[in-house]
C-alpha cells in the first residue's frame, strides 16, 4: 500500500539554484501532495486498487528580467487499474502586473472510473507573463492526455480559467472506452485557449465507445467565444457544444478561445 499526503513549500531567491521535487509510486492506496512556491501552487492526488506514476515540481528560481516572479513547472503522469481517480489543480499566484495583468489563472484535470483502466498526463507552467499547459512531448502513448478503458462508469473534467471571467471547460462521462487529447492550452492576460496554443499545432479531439455517454465543451468569454474547428462563434457570454451519444462518438477539433 502507498499512502502519502504531503505539504511542501519552496523558498525562492533571485538566481538561486532550481528547486525540484520528484515523487514516484507503484502499489495500492492513495498518494498526493500540496505544493506552494510563492509564485504558484498545485494540489494533486490519485487513489485506486492499483496506482502507478510520477509527479515532478520545479521552481527554477530564475526571476527573469528581475520582475520578481520565478518560473514554475508541474507534471503528473499517472495510471490507475481496477477503479479510482487522478487529478491535479494548479493556480498562478503572482504576475508582472503592470505589463501582464493580475494573476489568478487556473488549470485543472481529472479522470475517475468505477473500474477498468484510466491514465492522465498533464503539464502546467507559470511565469511572470502567463500560465500555460504546454503538452508537446508530455503525453501518453499515442499522443493522448486522458484515457479510459473497459470501464462501467467514468468521468472526465478539464478546466482552465484566466482569473478574469474567461474559462474553458470539458466534461464527459459514460461507459466503455474514451480518449481525450488536449495537448496545449493557454491562460493569460488576453483570455484562454483550450486545446490549442503554446506555439504548437492543435491537438484537441475526443473519441468514445461503449454503451452510451455524454460530452460537452463550454467556453465563457467576456467579449467573444470561438470554436475554431467547428466554425462557431459568439460575442460575450457562454457557448457550448453538447453530445449525448450511444455506441460511439468522436470530435476532431473542439478547441475553443474565449476572451
208: phi > 0 → left, psi -120 to 50 → alpha, else beta; which? beta
Place of cell 484535470: 109
Cell of 232: 462557431
Task: Answer yes or no: is pLDDT of 26 > 90.
Answer: yes
Percent over 90 (pLDDT), the chain: 83
pLDDT at residue 16, rounded to an integer: 64
Burial 73-97, CB ≥16 within 10 A → b, else e: bbbbbbbbbebbbbbbbbbbbbbbe
Q: Contact at 8 Å (CB) between 33 and 23?
A: yes
The pLDDT tens digits for 103-138 are: 999 999 999 999 999 999 999 999 999 999 998 887
What torsion do the CA atoms of 183, 21, 88, 29 make, to the nearest 10 degrees? 120
Residues in the chain: 259
Average model confidence (pLDDT) across the chain: 92
Q: Assign 2 a pLDDT band (cuts: 50, 70, 90).
A: very low
Q: Tens digits of per-residue pLDDT, 57-113?
A: 999 999 999 999 999 999 999 999 999 999 999 999 999 999 999 999 999 999 999
Q: What is the sign of the dihedral through the CA atoms of 63, 6, 105 and 200?
A: positive
Enumerate the domain spans of the chain. 2-258
- The predicted model gives 30-42 an average pLDDT of 97
Amino acid at each position: 500500500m502507498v499512502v502519502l499526503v504531503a505539504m511542501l513549500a519552496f523558498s525562492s531567491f533571485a538566481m538561486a539554484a532550481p528547486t525540484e521535487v520528484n515523487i514516484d509510486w507503484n502499489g495500492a492506496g492513495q498518494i498526493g501532495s500540496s505544493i506552494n512556491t510563492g509564485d504558484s501552487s498545485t494540489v494533486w492526488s490519485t487513489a485506486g486498487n492499483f496506482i502507478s506514476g510520477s509527479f515532478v515540481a520545479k521552481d527554477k528560481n530564475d526571476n527573469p528580467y528581475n520582475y520578481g516572479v520565478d518560473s514554475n513547472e508541474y507534471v503528473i503522469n499517472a495510471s490507475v487499474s481496477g477503479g479510482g481517480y487522478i487529478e491535479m489543480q494548479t493556480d498562478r499566484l503572482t504576475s508582472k502586473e503592470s505589463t501582464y495583468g493580475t494573476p489568478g489563472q487556473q488549470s485543472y484535470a481529472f479522470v475517475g472510473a468505477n473500474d477498468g483502466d484510466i491514465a492522465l498526463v498533464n503539464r502546467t507552467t507559470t511565469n511572470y507573463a502567463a500560465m500555460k499547459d504546454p503538452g508537446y512531448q508530455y503525453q501518453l502513448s499515442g499522443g493522448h492526455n486522458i484515457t479510459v478503458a473497459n470501464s462501467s462508469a467514468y468521468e472526465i473534467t478539464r478546466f482552465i480559467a484566466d482569473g478574469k471571467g474567461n474559462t474553458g471547460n470539458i466534461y464527459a462521462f459514460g461507459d466503455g472506452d474514451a480518449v481525450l487529447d488536449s495537448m496545449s492550452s493557454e491562460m493569460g492576460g488576453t483570455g484562454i485557449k483550450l486545446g490549442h496554443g503554446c506555439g504548437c499545432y492543435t491537438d484537441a479531439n475526443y473519441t468514445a465507445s461503449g454503451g452510451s455517454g455524454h460530452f460537452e465543451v463550454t467556453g465563457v468569454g467576456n467579449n467573444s467565444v470561438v470554436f475554431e474547428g467547428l466554425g462557431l462563434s459568439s460575442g460575450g457570454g457562454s457557448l457550448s457544444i453538447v453530445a449525448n451519444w450511444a455506441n460511439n462518438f468522436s470530435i476532431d477539433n473542439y478547441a475553443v478561445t474565449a476572451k
